[in-house]
Structure 1
């Protein structure tokens, strides 16, 4: 008997492609997929009202949840599932593998985190690890931290200070007060910092390295 898995992703093509690959190449069956967290949680609530035998036949062991859904993130859904249905394990699926996203996934209760650009074999391995009671988070946390470490080596001491302050989402005024430098000096250092690490603005830096 195949294991049951659901998918929550706001892109229909992603859901269909992922479902087709899993059902063709693994022991996972995907009887339901959803475009939003509300659709998923409402369906789980309906399952709770079914007879035990029927419920077991379609109740998921794992749910793959996209980090970025339309108008929301998947983190809240993972938290809800963890509180209401602790027997379900969640794996977060995302284009982003930065430390910030992986830590949020871990804090929300996710047991796994996988990049959408990862090879299919890695996804299958992630699901196997999570199914067997393990977690698949540390790999991405280490990789994301390595990205930050490699950047820090090419920055001056003051640029590193500003880089770390931006990662903590401190404002330019807070950086001025903390480092005892003028707003113009912060702007100059920030411009050089962006040029060195190849980003255009603060938002892009946070998206890539946080």
Structure 2
């Protein structure tokens, strides 16, 4: 039996995921959570009893909290757990961000239940899975990203994580004026006018 854990802030969606996977003969639910702190606490308890799940099904945005931050923490604290992203956001920037931070797969909530099951099975078998129609835009996006400097890439990715200017400046230890100069170049290269347009174009 393969055990799974669901992190999803919408109760009905969480219940639906657990229901669909639990109907599979080889899957058993190890638990669920709706927020980052709750998820890490429950996984710690499971770790102590040596019953960690093999896979976490993770939503990318948990209310005001970032699923990317939780993804990083799961990989740091529980490196044996595989993480599959199940998100309503499917633009190439957010898919790439999840994969770069250790997700083994990415499936959109708009897809069929069968694809979620297929993705879970493939990831559990040691593979990677990205929903098929999300792959071509991902290659186009990464080609665009190659035209950015390293610092521009860092800033751009933090914007897609929904970090504001002060958070970006603090995390990268750069002055506000320098950040504005970087942002100006990013907007120019992407044809966007600001954070909101960048997120809408690449991160939703």
Do they superpose with TM above 0.5? yes
Name the CA distance, whole Å, in 1 between partners of 2:3 and 2:40.
16
Q: Deviations over 1:144-183 (max 9, x none)?
A: 34887xxxxxxxxxxxxxxxx9xx68979936xx79xxxx
Which structure has the larger Rg over C-alpha atoms?
A: 1
Q: Give the gaps of 5 or more residues in structure 1.
A: 149-164, 180-189, 195-200
Tell me the equivalent position of 2:29.
30
- The runs of at least 4 aligned residues of structure 1 exceeding 6 Å deviation read 169-173
Change (3 A) 1:174 1:39: closer
Name the CA distance, whole Å, in 1 between partners of 2:97 and 2:140.
18
The within-5 A match list for 1:18-167 is: 18-25=17-24, 27-50=26-49, 55-56=50-51, 59-137=52-130, 139=132, 141-145=134-138
Task: Indicate yes or no: 2:17 matched with 1:7.
Answer: no
Name the CA distance, whole Å, in 2 between partners of 1:140 and 1:3.
27
Tell me the equivalent position of 1:206.
199
Offset, 1:108 = 1.4
Q: CA RMSD in A?
A: 3.3
Name the CA distance, whole Å, in 2 between partners of 1:138 and 1:31.
25
Tell me the equivalent position of 2:184.
174
**Is the contact between residue 95 and residue 138 of structure 2 (CA under 8 Å) also seen in structure 1?**
no
Change (3 A) 1:203 1:32: same
Name the CA distance, whole Å, in 1 between partners of 2:109 and 2:115.
10
Q: TM-score, normalised by structure 1?
A: 0.67
SS in 1 for 2:32: strand
Q: Deviations over 1:123-145 (max 9, x none)?
A: 11111110111111374652434
* Paired positions, count: 168
